Structure 1
Amino acid sequence: MRFSANLGFLWNDRPLPDAIRAAKAAGFDAVECHWPYDVPAADVRAALDETGLPMLGLNTVRGAPGENGLSALPGREAEAKVAIDQAVDYAVAIGAGAVHVMAGFADGASAHAAFLDNLRYATQAATPHGITILIEPLNRHDAPGYFLTHTDQAAAIIAELAAPNLKLMFDCYHVGRTEGDIVTRLNTLLPLVGHIQFASVPDRGAPDHGEVNYAHVFAEIAACDWAHPLGAEYKPDGATDATLGWLKGGLV
């Protein structure tokens, strides 16, 4: 198995270029991030080039304080498209392979229509650069009121748009909190999946404890011939380096 360090949570007490270097030193095969936009893209690209790590993806901005994305908010389509352009441009500058388009807090038919419109725009903007657009259901405990809440909903949106570069971000943590039966859900949805993330359930810590047996989950993913790094998007309990026993032989 290969693993990607999500630098939104891991080593997030350091500047992003230094976090990339820390991920390399710890033995990760790739990195990903949340919102890198305050850091010059040239500095991030330099750290990636120095370490040889690929940047798998990043998120569109959340919006105003208290918001969690813009793309499913009716009447905010212009802002959402600016956020998409920003994310795609930054991804191109650092060589990132994917952009997670965040939906935001909304519901109903008008939110669905806004999300489809913005995703159509995102897939078209990303296509010339070979970038994948990801959508991710978030669990109702951490993100109550978020538009995208279930993998079935995400699968229906992917089918409706039928864009080759629109994929599902399958986060084992969110699926575990909302749906359960992680391995069965992943096997069913695998043709739609563009990236897999994980964290312990229910506390979103390192994968060496909690309700989910990640040794089993990782083995099942490996059996599917999944070739891409899995995203470690968990919240460390203390210093990141002290939580990496799972990476250094505890689970894999």
Structure 2
Amino acid sequence: MKFSANLGFLWADRPLPDAIRAAKAAGFDAVELHWPYETDAAEVKAALDETGLPCLGLNTRRGETNGLCALPGKEAEAWAAIDEAIVYARAIGAGAVHAMAGFAQGMAAEATFCDALRYACDAAPDLMILIEPLNRYDAPGYFLTTTGQALKLIDAVKKPNLKLMFDCYHVQIMEGDLTRRFESLRHAVGHVQFAGVPARGRPDEGEIAFDRLLPALGWDGPLGAEYKPGGDTDATLGWLDGYRAL
């Protein structure tokens, strides 16, 4: 199996180019980013070129509302954030943009989100646009919370480059039954992430046996390690070599 280091959490105490180099040294096959906008894209691209690691994707800005794309009345800001993410993604060669919905509820929010997703998909047909359900405990009030809701949005928007970010951590907390659920959604999935449940720590701790689950998913791309190391990242990587060999 292949793995991607999510540098929003892993080596977050280092400048982003150094975190990319650390991911390479640790044996990861790719990286993914949260909000890299304070780092010049040219510096990130140089580190990616130096290491040979692909960048799988990045998020739109979260602001104070955990995203903007589903907030009625914030359309101009949301679309500007989408534009910013697309420009940055293209500059570093990233393959996807995660359009963050934000704290919102109701039909108006759903319509606003769908409009933003259509805009993003049309503005970047060369990129994958991802949406990710977040659990209601970590992100109370977030618009998108379940895979069923995400699939409804994907069906409504009807764009081939709109896909689901299947985060095992969030899906386990909200819905469970990960293996069957993933299989039923495989056609809509664009990326897979994981972390230990319930603490969002290293994947070999917690209630999910990722050493059995991840091979069972049969995902061909790099799996995104998006966990909170709670200290020195290198000290938490005892799982990596064993999982890569599965």
**TM-score of the aligned structures, taking structure 1 as reference length:** 0.96
Aligned-residue offset at 1:216: 1.2
Q: Is the 8 A contact 1:208 1:250 kept in 2?
A: no
Residue-pair matches, total? 245
Q: Tell me whether 1:26 sits opposite 2:26 in the alignment.
A: yes
CA distance in 2, matches of 1:132, 1:85: 14
SS in 2 for 1:245: helix
Aligned-CA RMSD value:
0.9
CA distance in 2, matches of 1:228, 1:3: 8
Quote the sequence identity (%). Answer: 67
CA distance in 2, matches of 1:212, 1:20: 27
CA distance in 2, matches of 1:144, 1:99: 23
Aligned-residue offset at 1:250: 6.0
Aligned-residue offset at 1:237: 2.5
CA distance in 2, matches of 1:207, 1:111: 34
CA distance in 1, matches of 2:2, 2:51: 16
CA distance in 1, matches of 2:87, 2:94: 10
2:237 maps to what in 1? 244
- Structure 1: which 4+ aligned runs deviate by more than 3 Å? none
2:4 maps to what in 1? 4
CA distance in 2, matches of 1:106, 1:167: 21
Q: Deviations over 1:169-217 (max 9, x none)?
A: 0000000111011111111100000000000110000110111110111
Q: Tell me whether 1:164 sits opposite 2:157 in the alignment.
A: no
CA distance in 1, matches of 2:21, 2:106: 43
CA distance in 2, matches of 1:214, 1:250: 8
2:193 maps to what in 1? 197
Gaps of 5+ in 2: none
CA distance in 2, matches of 1:149, 1:219: 25
SS in 1 for 2:133: coil
Q: Deviations over 1:96-148 (max 9, x none)?
A: 00000000000001000100010000000111xx1000000000000000000
Gaps of 5+ in 1: none
Q: Tell me whether 1:104 sits opposite 2:82 in the alignment.
A: no
